[in-house]
Structures are given as C-alpha cells and as structure tokens.
C-alpha cells in the first residue's frame, strides 16, 4: 500500500502516462500498417499519402518520449526507403 503523498502522486502520473503512451503507440502502428499495405499493393500515391501522415505521428511520439528518438528515426527511415523503392 502506498503511504507517502509523493508516491501516490507519482502513481497517478505513471498511470496517465501509460495510458497516453499506449494510445500514441497504437496510432503509430495504425499509420505504419497503412503505409505497408499501400506498399504491398504497389500503390505509390497511396503510400506517399500514408507516409505523410505516419512520419509526423512517429516524430511527435518521439518528442513526447512515448518512443525513443532513435527508434522513431529508424522507423521513419525504413518506411521512407520502402516507399521510395516503389518508383524505382
């Protein structure tokens, strides 16, 4: 049982952050999935549009510390590489 006020507050904050991070990560996964589906269907216009939505979402999650900075960079890089490979 938590007794100190600071520990109670930290517990509340942790729960709020956990819920927010889960929501942000879920939206990232949705965006990534839409890009990958467009790439799989070999639809460059759709892939570019989905990438244009996914990249800011990933960057924002990184800025809010929901995911690590380098993880975000790696995901953006890999998605961009796949989309750019469509036109080649």
- Mean pLDDT along residues 57-71: 96
Q: What is the pTM of this model?
A: 0.85
> What 3-state DSSP class applies to 42?
coil
Report the distance separating Cα 12 and Cα 8, nearest Å: 6
Task: Please report the pLDDT score of residue 3 as a whole number.
Answer: 82
Among residues 61, 59, 39, the alpha carbon closest in space to that of 49 is found at 39
- Rounded to the nearest angstrom, the gap between the alpha carbon of residue 47 and the centroid of all alpha carbons in its chain is 16
Residue ranges per domain, the chain?
Answer: 25-87
Distances (CA, A) of 18 to 7, 50, 78: 16, 26, 26
> Quick check: 21 and 63 in contact, CB under 8 A?
no
pLDDT tens-digit map of 30-41: 999 999 999 999
Task: Please report the pLDDT score of residue 24 as a whole number.
Answer: 96
Report the distance separating Cα 28 and Cα 71, nearest Å: 12
- Percent of the chain topping pLDDT 90: 93
Task: Please report the pLDDT score of residue 88 as a whole number.
Answer: 62
Residue 1 pLDDT exceeds 80? no
Task: Please report the pLDDT score of residue 65 as a whole number.
Answer: 93
């Amino acid at each position: 049982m938590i007794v100190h006020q600071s520990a109670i507050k930290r517990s509340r904050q942790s729960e709020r952050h956990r819920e927010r991070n889960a929501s942000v990560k879920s939206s990232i996964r949705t965006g990534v999935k839409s890009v990958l589906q467009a790439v799989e269907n070999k639809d460059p216009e759709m892939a570019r549009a989905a990438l244009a939505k996914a990249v800011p979402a990933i960057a924002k999650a990184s800025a809010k510390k929901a995911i690590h900075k380098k993880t975000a960079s790696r995901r953006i890089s890999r998605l961009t590489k796949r989309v750019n490979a469509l036109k080649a």
